[in-house]
Chains A and B, each alone.
Chain A
Amino acid sequence: MATQTTKIIIAVIVLVVVAAIAIYAMQKGAQTPTTTASPAPATETETAPQTTPTETEAEAAPAEIPKKIAVVYDIGGRGDLSFNDMAYLGASRAAKDFGLELVEVQSTTEADYLPNLRSLAKSKEYLVIIAVGFLMTDAVKQVADEYPDQLFAIIDGYVPDKPNVLSILFKEHEGSALVGALAAMVAHHYGCKAVGVVLGMEIPVLYKFEAGYYWGIRYGEQVYEQKTGKTVEPLQVLWTYTGAFNDPARGKTATEAQLEQGACVVYNVAGATGLGIFEAVEEAAKSQGKDMGPPFAIGVDSDQDWIKPGFIIASMMKRVDVGVYTAVKRALEYRQGKIDKYGGILELGLKEGGVGVSKLEDLETFLSIAEQAGRKVNKEEIMAKVKKMRESIPAWIWEEVDKLAEQLKTNQDIEVYGLKFSDIAKMIPLDANEIKQIRAKLGVPEG
């Protein structure tokens, strides 16, 4: 009985305390908006003393450009050494340059995308809400319809025909051409017979990676012949669709098959399946007693060079940071009345700095921001390994890749095997027939 009474007394005390805290918190919450809002009308009255404060407040409210931007990360979250970290990089730069406040929201599950976007849009406090990654496409579409006055941007997602949504896409064929050239030159440098690419599910989006890569390979071979004065056998180009984007085991098997056929550079166009590509390449090199390639893999989407340092020669990067920065800038210009159209598709290529081949500096920036986000990375060791690997390739090869990047920015009429790069660019989006034609022209056998 005594213990029961004590319990009840405790319960009552707790109830009172909790209620008191709740009331205090509520009052504090009610105060916060007023305190933050009060300076604004005060400055208004200073600049325009003629009008009464109430009028200025009413007039200023709708014209004022929101001072906050929001980034919604997908389930990978900060510290992913990929899209989300790059998005943070771009958003924080934009916030600093344009004097905006950055609000970050992470998603625990896929079910969070819609409520995250809705909660932000509902407050009407944001200049632009940026959704990172194509997984949020459906959610963005829906919330954009519900809040037509709110500006959105989606990275790597395709939402055409909505005036308040900017879809930031990347010209992957341009980046793929660069890594193709790199692959070919590296392969010939080591006297290999073949280069390969392992892809995910066969969907048209991947055809532009293929086309760019094959074109780059043939271009790289020509450059190699010119540079060294040797005539070389054209490389055999191997390609495999694994049918999945998250099956590392299949990625590994497919890569092992290509390595057996003599490939010494394999391009990852397969999402998480690609982790198997990296593993296969590392194992093959290690079984020959080497602590770095060849064989090499090529990373994709983000700078993946850190995953297996020494075995990933470079990565075809989509510069999500550039995309996010561009979206914020565009939203600001639109709200300032400098441009009259916001929404639509914005494709970022070499010219806009939207795609590129990873460099050592990229890796350093990248590892640093991942460290900031609380991820443990062995920065010095990774950097040292990647540097050693890069230095094992003749410097002229790297220079030629940079040269091609510069050329493609201004002139896409470069022709190899009777196919101009601009011809490929014009055909995009490619369908199954067109990629067959491209393969045939560039001497890539059908599977």
Chain B
Amino acid sequence: MGLEKISGVFERIIPLADVLVAIAVGFVASGALMEVGGYNALEAFRSLFEYSFLDTYYLSSTLSFAAPIMLTALTFAVGVRAGVFNIGAEGQLYLGALGAVLVAAFHLPGFLYFPLGLALGVGFAVASAAVAGILKAKRGVNEVVSTIMLNWIAFWIVEYMRTYQIADPHDPSKTIPVPPQARLPLLISGTELSAAIIIAIAFVIATYYILWHTVIGYEIRATGLNPDAARYAGIRVDRSILASFIVGGVAAGLAGFLEVTGRPPHYAITTGLSNLLGLGFDGITVSLMGLNHPLAIIPASIFVAALKVGARGMQIEAGVPLEMVKAVQGIIIISLAAPGLIRTIQARRRAKLVEEVKPVAG
């Protein structure tokens, strides 16, 4: 009994051990790279840490950057739980942001901008996600291919709208801004930390609850573990897959909407979507780091955000140029995402194996 309990604790600690080893490998390897490049690695890591956590402003900056990638990570994680590689968060995030600024083009009573923008943004994102979901669930179209294509479609739709339809007449480098009534309040004035972080965390926890404590969540996870077994057990696999895309679409759309309504000073979409670019793809690494578990995504997103925010410190204090900073970020992120990636691929292979064995068994 006692031994079993200890073994159970060990079981839970193992992923943590992986993460710690990965962190150590990432920091040692990137530190070595900086030393070879002629920069002081210890000073760089110290300033990375200082500029991401050791001050109210820096900490709030980190949290503000964590909010969108937490949600886009959720998009990927829910997909993996259902056994699909949904990498459409990037495009769905653009569409969510579009909804937020699109409503500003109309004269409406002030209180309507927020709910309408939210509905529109999330609606666009879900529509895009549903296309990939239906193609996958009904026709077996590879979701990696379809979501990549949908990302580009979303990019050009939003870029077209930004350039020709909803450009700010005073500054055509960005869209018209979100009306003041629809902007999220800042949690601490003088920082970039808005209520977006609260909404993001709440949404992540809610999704965790759905996945682990509701029937549809159970069905999604069962589909991901073994679609054939799930089908045999009477679970409608296509419905589960579609549901995972829809939940993912809501998360990514919300991420885009919150980023635009919550981040000063622009509250708009800027040239080439440059204030949104990459937030969806960052989510994939965050999700892998968090082993595709919604609750683990929260600390993982804060970690990745800290790397981004701390990049400032590395440049300002340690004089490390941005190119080197990016290399360091890349090494740390890859080593941290590796365990999750390996697990995900192994799980996929196992599922494939089951599929291949099936005819023999049947």
A111 touches B275 (CB 8 A): yes
Per DSSP, chain A at the interface is helix
* Contact among A14, A104, A245 with B21 in the assembled complex (CB-CB below 8 Å): A14
Partner of B309, one of A29, A115, A201: A115
Of A142, A243, A245, which is within 8 A of B173 by CB?
A: A245
For A9-21 the 0/1 string (1 means CB < 8 A from B) is 0110011011001
Report A273-287 CB contacts with B as 1/0, cut-off 8 Å.
000000000000000
What are 20 inter-chain pairs, A to B, with CB distance below 8 A? Answer: A4-B14, A7-B14, A8-B17, A10-B17, A24-B42, A25-B43, A25-B49, A28-B46, A32-B43, A108-B308, A109-B277, A110-B274, A111-B65, A111-B263, A119-B58, A120-B316, A122-B57, A137-B171, A146-B190, A247-B163
A329: Cβ under 8 A from any B Cβ: no
A4:B10 contact, CB within 8 angstroms: yes
Cβ-defined contact, A14 with B275, below 8 A: no
Are A109 and B192 CB-contacts (below 8 A) given A203-B172, A244-B163? no
A115 close to B20 (CB less than 8 A): no
Task: Say whether A109 contacts B278, CB under 8 Å.
Answer: yes
Determine whether A89 belongs to the interface, using a CB cutoff of 8 Å to chain B. Answer: no
Q: Which residues of A contact B42 (CB under 8 A)?
A: 21, 24-25, 28
Q: Is A26 an interface residue (CB 8 A)?
A: yes
Q: Which residue of B lies closest to A139 (CB)?
A: B265
Which residues in chain B, 132-162, are within 8 Å of chain A measured between CB atoms? none
A203 adjacent to B316 (CB under 8 Å): no
A246 within 8 A of B: yes
B299 at the A/B interface (Cβ < 8 Å)? no
- Known contacts A122-B57, A138-B265; A200 and B321 CB within 8 A of each other: no
Chain B residues near A28 (CB, 8 Å)?
Answer: 42-43, 46
Interface residues of A (CB under 8 A from B): 1, 4, 7-8, 10-11, 14-15, 17-18, 21-22, 24-26, 28-29, 32, 70, 75, 77-78, 103-106, 108-112, 114-116, 118-120, 122-123, 134-135, 137-139, 141-142, 146, 200-201, 203, 243-247, 374
Cα A246 to Cα B20 in complex, Å, equals 45
Query: How far is A112 from B315 in the complex, measured between Cα atoms in Å?
Result: 13
The residues in B between 243 and 289 inclusive whose CB is less than 8 angstroms from any CB of A are: 259, 263-266, 270-272, 274-275, 277-278
Q: Using Cβ atoms and an 8 Å threshold, which residues of chain A touch B232? A: none
Do residues B265 and A105 form an inter-chain contact, with CB atoms below 8 A?
no
A135 close to B173 (CB less than 8 A): yes
Instruction: Please determine whether B10 and A244 come into contact, CB atoms closer than 8 angstroms.
Output: no
| CB neighbors of A among B307-334 (8 A) | 308-309, 311-313, 315-316, 319, 321-323, 326
Q: Is B16 among interface residues, defined by CB-CB distance under 8 A? A: yes
Is the beta-carbon distance between B274 and A17 smaller than 8 angstroms? no
Q: Among the interface residues B11, B17, B190, which one has the most CB atoms of the partner chain A within 10 A?
A: B17
Contacting pair A201 B13 (CB below 8 A): no
B21 touching A11 by the CB < 8 A rule? Answer: yes
A230 to B164 Cα, complex, angstroms: 46
> Apart from A25-B45, A78-B321, A134-B171, what 15 extra A-B contacts exist at CB < 8 Å?
A4-B7, A8-B10, A14-B24, A29-B43, A70-B316, A104-B321, A108-B308, A115-B309, A119-B58, A119-B312, A120-B316, A141-B265, A201-B172, A243-B163, A246-B163
Name B residues whose Cβ lies closer than 8 Å to a Cβ of A. Answer: 7, 10-11, 13-14, 16-18, 20-21, 23-24, 27, 42-43, 45-47, 49-51, 57-58, 61, 65, 163-164, 167, 169, 171-173, 190, 192, 259, 263-266, 270-272, 274-275, 277-278, 308-309, 311-313, 315-316, 319, 321-323, 326
Q: How far, in Å, is B179 (CB) from chain A's closest CB?
A: 16
Instruction: Judge whether B164 and A105 touch: CB under 8 Å.
Output: no
Give Cα A46–Cα B354 distance, bound, in whole angstroms: 82
A134 to B309, CA, bound (A): 23
Contact of B23 with A18 in the complex, beta carbons under 8 Å: yes
Across the interface, name the chain B residue whose C-beta is closest to A133: B173
